Structure 1
């Protein structure tokens, strides 16, 4: 447990130093209107590489999702890394998938970890092939 805490503190310190050295900001994710869209308050996308949503479906919706582009071997934006959707960000997740024509989705976490729900369902819960999304919170 102590080692885990020290490792987390070390990662946090290195991340802060990296952001300062590279002049990287996380202002969009920290803004008042977007903070509720982050699973964790200290894991925010870098403004310089964040995914911007253009497909706004309703008044007052922001272009924010907690996601960053990742470069491939040819230095082009090839991948997107994002947090598992929250109940109220599933629609944002699918807006991103649609807008950027995502072909493959890989979930690298469990639905539940250590007794805590880690991701909201963003796939059909039955054998049916349709998943209906409701934009209401």
Structure 2
């Protein structure tokens, strides 16, 4: 998907792994896993527990892909976590080789109704990756950036650099690329920045603007913030604005690894979109296709559990789930613990 000739085509994808993606399975008419309702998913997890998740992982890891670019000598230092590789097939390439090579730790991931809807990217961690990050933004032209990380860890130590300006009208330069913050809206749990990218590498200067939403309260990969669904609602409004303005670029989701939180948030967005449109869930196929497009996604049981719990909360608050069914599941859990 990084280049037109290499796109993993999903026909009107809706994140169904059986719809034409060459890394996925042949579609059967009775696609049971895809057509499970939220109530059936909850019951399956409650009854099967970790064994179900292990079955999912076996399916996900059936077809290994190449990861050559990320282990090349000139690129190794650009990977913050050496155990998180990058698939070659759908990596996002920087297309301005006069300022450096084409490598950044980022992948295209399909959305509910659009191929390459998201770019899942590692957050910059030094001055070199900061420069490469904005080069990537300048060439990929995302319609917004969603940053899921605090800049400081629990001990007050810098976890990711402040790679954008937090002051209005402030500007940073990366050679002939300038990044300026135009507007700031500080909210309780997240901040919204309107950012202008000015690229002077061309004979005619190119300029475009986008929103950067910083969810500064997300501090742990294995723990979902309390207000994640509120944040997703805020994000949805911004996403609708980009649709109205006909911004065609992908949504860039950034976290320290570019994998754990970013993949979780993409999955939440995809699954809720499907629930709203079809009243179907598709947790397993959603996780499968994201995992095949972004290395290391959903490798921990907690990630699956958090995903199911968050989707359940959404369905309960939206009156989608059968509450009696949910109560029966809770009773089963209590009996198992006795």
Q: Say if 1:84 and 1:118, in contact at 8 Å, map to a contact too.
A: no
Deviation at residue 126 of structure 1 after TM alignment: 2.9
* Residues 85-121 of structure 1: per-residue CA shift (max 9 Å, x gap): 1221111111111111112111111112244432222
The whole-number CA distance in structure 2 between the counterparts of 1:72 and 1:24 is 20
* Residues 25-47 of structure 1: per-residue CA shift (max 9 Å, x gap): 22211111101001100112211
Q: Which has the higher contact order (CA 8 A, sep 6+)?
A: 2
Counterpart in the other structure of 1:106 = 146
* Residues 20-66 of structure 1: per-residue CA shift (max 9 Å, x gap): x22312221111110100110011221111111111233xx221000
- Going from structure 1 to structure 2, the CA distance change for 1:24 and 1:75 (only over 3 Å counts) comes to farther
Counterpart in the other structure of 1:89 = 129
Q: Normalization by structure 2: what TM-score? A: 0.32
**1:131 maps onto 2:169 in alignment:** no
Counterpart in the other structure of 1:54 = 95
Describe how 1:21-60 pairs up with structure 2 within 5 A: 21-58=62-99
Q: CA RMSD in A?
A: 2.5
Q: Say if 2:91 and 2:108, in contact at 8 Å, map to a contact too.
A: yes
For structure 1, the residue ranges without an aligned partner over 5 or more in a row are 1-10
How many residues align? The count is 119
User: Whose Rg is larger?
Assistant: 2
The whole-number CA distance in structure 2 between the counterparts of 1:122 and 1:65 is 15
Structure 1 window deviating more from structure 2 (85-94 vs 125-134): it is: 125-134
Deviation at residue 134 of structure 1 after TM alignment: 4.7
Q: Which runs of 4+ in 1 moved over 4 A?
A: none
Deviation at residue 125 of structure 1 after TM alignment: 4.2
Q: Normalization by structure 1: what TM-score? A: 0.74
For structure 2, the residue ranges without an aligned partner over 5 or more in a row are 1-53, 177-338
Counterpart in the other structure of 1:122 = 163
The whole-number CA distance in structure 2 between the counterparts of 1:125 and 1:62 is 29
The whole-number CA distance in structure 2 between the counterparts of 1:94 and 1:118 is 19
Structure ranking higher in helix proportion = 2
Counterpart in the other structure of 1:79 = 118
- Going from structure 1 to structure 2, the CA distance change for 1:125 and 1:132 (only over 3 Å counts) comes to farther
Q: Say if 2:94 and 2:140, in contact at 8 Å, map to a contact too.
A: no
